[in-house]
Amino acid sequence: MIFDIEVNNKIIKAKKGETILSALSRNGIKVPTLCYMEELAPSGACRICVVEVEGQPNLVPSCAQPVEEWMRIKTHSPKVIKARKTIVELLLSNHPDDCLYCERNGNCELQKLAVELNVLERRISGQKGKQKADRSGSSMVRDPKKCILCGRCVRVCEEIIGVSAIDFIKRGNHCEITPSFQKGINLSSCINCGQCIMCCPTGALYERDHLPEIIDSLNNPAKHVIIQYSPTISVTLAEEFGVKSGKDINGMINAALRKIGFNKVFDSSFGADINTIEVANELVNRIKTNQNLPMFNSCCPAWVKYIEQTHSHLIENLATVKSPQQIMGKLIKGYYAETFNISANDIYTVSVMPCIAKKFEAQREEMTHKGITDVDAVLTTRELARLIRLYGIDIMNIESELADTILGTRSSAGKLFAVSGGVAEAVIRTSFNLLTGKDLVNFKIIELRSINKGRKEFKIKAGDYEIGVAVVSDMINAEKILNEIKNGRNDIQFIEVMACPGGCVNGGGQPIPSRKEDIKARIKAIYDVDDKESIKFAHKNPQLNELYKNYLGNPCDENCTTILHTSFNKRDVLL
């Protein structure tokens, strides 16, 4: 039902059941928000979005209040503006005054609100918090002093991801958001997905900075610095430089990274292709022997940690293959080093990932062998943008270049790792070939490409076998499917789980903010690559086949297993 309401002395159309905020924004009236999150039920906590409704004694939060036919609303009356301004001033009254040194300087919602509401003077001053930043995590830093307790991170962690690693404690002004028992985030059940960072309005949550070490290595002539970047980076980095989401700047990234001084630039999609070959072989073996099914992907380190800490009895079900990042790191320090006769000790490997869990993965003890770490440093998309700016590179105006060969050619299947469902699609393409000797004609698996579904399922007949695939991208849906398996469901052989909704295109290391429409555009850009490029199967990647022939041997053989596979162990955390 559509009816009229009066807003600021004008009549606008509103739908029954929608909130005031939604009616206003549809009609082009902007009301600032802070705790509001589109996908979640309103909490009405921050009170920034209050409006004046005639006849109501108090101001009402537009994000939570449904519209009613009788409403006459004022969105910017003196009373409303005074309230909003006072609320922002209250937040600023005990906020650390270090905007210039803040991670989120220039991209801070609190800063923006202060500008919008014309806060130019400190009228209220309060005692500042003395909490120390929690730097225990290998992926992220929590700085409670900057936390304005909007609660977005808590809600994302509980209601979208389904982990609940953090929550409110204490009362009144002593209120804080912390992991269990106020211990460090490293001991908590946090899976490092980084979605909390993505929704944090201030600099209270941010990734652990790896830039200084990388710059040191770049400046060290003895070091051979090699960078690899995830399939996702090329479609998101441009947003950091003010370009509309969904632009693929792969070639420019190659050029920019060389300008910065990296000795070699590789595309991790090559690692994704190897991951696909190994996972497909492992899956086919398991299906043939009917062992440890359903098999889970192991390329998402957040998901792997989740299994290790909450479902350790299912560790056997994880594929044993390393993630593309680690495969690339291992090959760079092994194959590449041998080929060019460089000591692995002199090589410094950097990866650019859309993810902060990759920082955690890189430092897992399984990923260091005889003192040689596969990946030495991990940058997020945001950090890479900072590095590019630091080196003064006008990335949007440089000539495109190709990635370095030897570990640089890719199939478009490897590129698909960037989206939820992509890993499954790539693995199916190769598994089908392994089981039937033929390539899929309809290689685009539309069933796994829907964006809005929480869970996607697909079944395909391959020779004598039927492979059932399920795809989810958060722990809530993962938990649901694990429950079904526990209750006897056995028609699923492969489950792809990504921790971040939508997959790596929406990873915790991506540009802030990453809105829904941005994510859609990024996904489209990835599928466009799959449409355009000629090599669509991992097993058709010529460089990869060369590598297997000359160096690795047969997939899942002993040599491959030592180089490309790993093991996972039960993990004790505070739940």
Residue ranges binding other proteins (CB under 8 A): 42-48, 50, 58-59, 61, 64-66, 79, 82-83, 86-87, 90-91, 93-94, 122-127, 148-149, 151, 167-168, 170-175
C-alpha to C-alpha distance for 313 and 106, rounded to whole angstroms: 46
Which is nearer to other proteins, 124 or 396 (by Cβ)?
124
The per-residue b/e assignment along 52-73, b for 16 or more CB within 10 angstroms, e otherwise, is: bbeeeeebbbbbbbebeeebeb
Gap between the terminal Cα atoms of the chain:
46
Which is nearer to other proteins, 25 or 86 (by Cβ)?
86
For residues 114 and 86, the answer to whether their CB atoms sit within 8 Å is no
Provide the minimum distance between the beta carbon of 88 and other proteins in the complex, in angstroms, as a whole number: 9
Q: Are strands 372-373 and 368-369 parallel, antiparallel or unpaired?
A: antiparallel
For residues 72 and 6, the answer to whether their CB atoms sit within 8 Å is yes
Provide the minimum distance between the beta carbon of 374 and other proteins in the complex, in angstroms, as a whole number: 42
Which is nearer to other proteins, 59 or 418 (by Cβ)?
59
Smallest CA-to-CA distance from 381 within 510, 507, 493 is with 510
Which is nearer to other proteins, 66 or 553 (by Cβ)?
66
Chain mean position to CA 382: 12
Which is nearer to other proteins, 24 or 150 (by Cβ)?
150
Q: What are the structure tokens assigned to 184, written together?
A: 């460090």
Provide the minimum distance between the beta carbon of 109 and other proteins in the complex, in angstroms, as a whole number: 13
Provide the minimum distance between the beta carbon of 546 and other proteins in the complex, in angstroms, as a whole number: 57
C-alpha to C-alpha distance for 383 and 208, rounded to whole angstroms: 10
Amino acid, single-letter form, for residue 407: L
Provide the minimum distance between the beta carbon of 44 and other proteins in the complex, in angstroms, as a whole number: 4
C-alpha to C-alpha distance for 388 and 136, rounded to whole angstroms: 28
Report H helices in 67-194: 78-93, 109-116, 152-155
Which is nearer to other proteins, 86 or 292 (by Cβ)?
86
Amino acid, single-letter form, for residue 571: R
Which is nearer to other proteins, 79 or 486 (by Cβ)?
79
For residues 357 and 305, the answer to whether their CB atoms sit within 8 Å is yes
Provide the minimum distance between the beta carbon of 448 and other proteins in the complex, in angstroms, as a whole number: 33
Provide the minimum distance between the beta carbon of 152 and other proteins in the complex, in angstroms, as a whole number: 13
Q: Is 212 exposed, middle or buried (0-12, 13-18, 19+ CB in 10 A)?
A: exposed
Which is nearer to other proteins, 66 or 96 (by Cβ)?
66
Provide the minimum distance between the beta carbon of 533 and other proteins in the complex, in angstroms, as a whole number: 49
